[in-house]
């Protein structure tokens, strides 16, 4: 039995993780659950899965989360919290020597260098739950290409030429008629393929999600940003692919359902039957791909800028985006205001090196203040 703790258990990834636990009886024991504010649902889950340790982060605080993931009786921590609030608990889980199944991309975006260094020190694994990164992880299953095997030889995975992240493009892909100054919260949250939390759904519509995923992949797989491509693929059947130096590309396909990625992270290196729906390519009929429109979706360009500059700039971009998305969801900022805000905050930032926790936390706090100021001034 694998003993798991789920941070963010009442969110979309958390609920889907529990569905997998339920679908695979005898494989997992849930030893801890944490949610942010939804106490009622947290207690229901604790009762159903007979979990003794629960934390309500909104009430009990971050230290309680860190304490929960530091327990010795854990095999894997599922990190499905939203945003930078997950950073300290992730570091605590790593320090305690636990593998982390990882959905909170913001943490790797803002503090990738720090997290990967601590991970290597502790000798633990970071198993991707983001569907694109799970796909790449699955494409790299030749054990010599796995990040924690590669680092033993000190080499980068040099047989990898490019990682290609697929993007559904969100609800506005290919719709030149949509006015981004006026589009409503409801239209943005109506994602055509994936049912996800609100933050990631807005990020998906601006394509910031793909920008964050470039940085996530850069750290998770130790591949330079210049070797990470994005292609728009509205059907969301090909979840990403790897092209090797011999020109061969390996891709991973399934119907779009986040349980595939979660289950793989939890059962790796095994594959287990759990009654998931099968892909019927004849029924799908056609898969389409096109280059992203960075003029219309500037977040992708901003993310590349942040990735190339490195240092504190990715943390700043991430924090500004979190604040701007929240303002958009609260009706205080237009949809286009999201990337204008992020761009202005990034332009105002003086980049410095970013290897320790204080620098990350400071850059993050600075960007949040700055973004709030920009939003108050402009909108």
Residues near Mg ion (CB under 5 A): 130-132
Return the number of the residue (128 or 343) whose C-beta is nearest Mg ion.
128
Instruction: Select the residue whose beta carbon is closest to Mg ion and give its number.
Output: 130
**Beta pairing partners, 35:** 56
Q: Order of strands, edge to edge, in the sheet holding 160-167? A: 228-232, 160-167, 238-244, 249-253
Q: Taking a C-beta distance cutoff of 8 angstroms, is the pair 273, 181 a contact?
A: no
Return the number of the residue (130 or 364) whose C-beta is nearest Mg ion.
130
Q: How far is the CB of 184 from Mg ion (least distance, A)?
A: 24
Return the number of the residue (92 or 139) whose C-beta is nearest Mg ion.
139
Q: How far is the CB of 208 from Mg ion (least distance, A)?
A: 12
Q: How far is the CB of 241 from Mg ion (least distance, A)?
A: 14
Give the number of other CB atoms < 10 A from CB of residue 32. Answer: 24
Phi, psi torsion values for 194, nearest 5 degrees? -115, 140
Return the number of the residue (130 or 322) whose C-beta is nearest Mg ion.
130
Q: How far is the CB of 152 from Mg ion (least distance, A)?
A: 28
Q: Taking a C-beta distance cutoff of 8 angstroms, is the pair 45, 33 a contact?
A: yes
Q: How far is the CB of 204 from Mg ion (least distance, A)?
A: 8
**Beta pairing partners, 30:** 4
Return the number of the residue (113 or 132) whose C-beta is nearest Mg ion.
132
Q: Taking a C-beta distance cutoff of 8 angstroms, is the pair 99, 79 a contact?
A: no
* Closest alpha carbon to 109 in 90, 137, 135: 90
**Which position has the token pair 């000190």?**
154
């Amino acid at each position: 039995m694998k003993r798991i703790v789920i941070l963010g258990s009442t969110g979309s990834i958390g609920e889907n993780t529990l569905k997998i636990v339920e679908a695979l009886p005898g494989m997992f024991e849930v030893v801890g659950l944490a949610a942010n504010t939804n106490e009622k649902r947290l207690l229901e889950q604790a009762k159903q899965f007979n979990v003794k340790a629960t934390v309500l982060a909104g009430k009990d605080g971050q230290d309680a989360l860190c304490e929960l993931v530091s327990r010795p009786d854990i095999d894997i921590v599922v990190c499905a919290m939203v945003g930078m609030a997950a950073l300290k608990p992730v570091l605590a889980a790593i320090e305690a020597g636990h593998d982390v199944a990882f959905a909170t991309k913001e943490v790797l975006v803002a503090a990738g260098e720090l997290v990967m260094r601590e991970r290597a020190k502790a000798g633990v694994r970071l198993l991707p739950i983001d569907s694109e990164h799970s796909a790449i992880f699955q494409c790299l299953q030749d054990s010599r290409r796995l990040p924690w095997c590669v680092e033993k030889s000190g080499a980068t995975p040099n047989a990898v030429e490019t990682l290609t992240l697929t993007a559904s493009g969100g609800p506005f892909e290919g719709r030149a008629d949509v006015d981004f100054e006026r589009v409503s919260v409801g239209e943005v949250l109506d994602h055509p393929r994936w049912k996800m939390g609100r933050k990631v759904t807005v990020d998906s519509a601006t394509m910031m999600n793909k920008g964050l995923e470039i940085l996530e992949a850069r750290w998770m797989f130790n591949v330079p940003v210049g070797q990470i491509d994005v292609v728009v693929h509205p059907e969301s059947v090909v979840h990403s692919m790897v092209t090797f130096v011999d020109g061969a590309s390996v891709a991973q396909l399934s119907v779009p359902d986040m349980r595939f990625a979660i289950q793989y992270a939890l059962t790796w290196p095994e594959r287990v039957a759990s009654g998931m729906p099968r892909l019927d390519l004849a029924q799908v009929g056609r898969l389409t791909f096109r280059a992203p429109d960075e003029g219309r979706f500037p977040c992708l360009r901003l993310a590349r800028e942040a990735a190339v500059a490195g240092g504190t700039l990715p943390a700043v971009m991430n924090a500004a985006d979190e604040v701007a998305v929240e303002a958009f969801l609260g009706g205080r900022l237009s949809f286009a205001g999201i990337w204008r805000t992020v761009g202005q905050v990034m332009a105002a930032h003086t980049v410095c090196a970013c290897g320790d926790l204080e620098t990350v936390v400071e850059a993050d706090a600075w960007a949040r203040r700055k973004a709030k100021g920009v939003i108050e001034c402009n909108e």
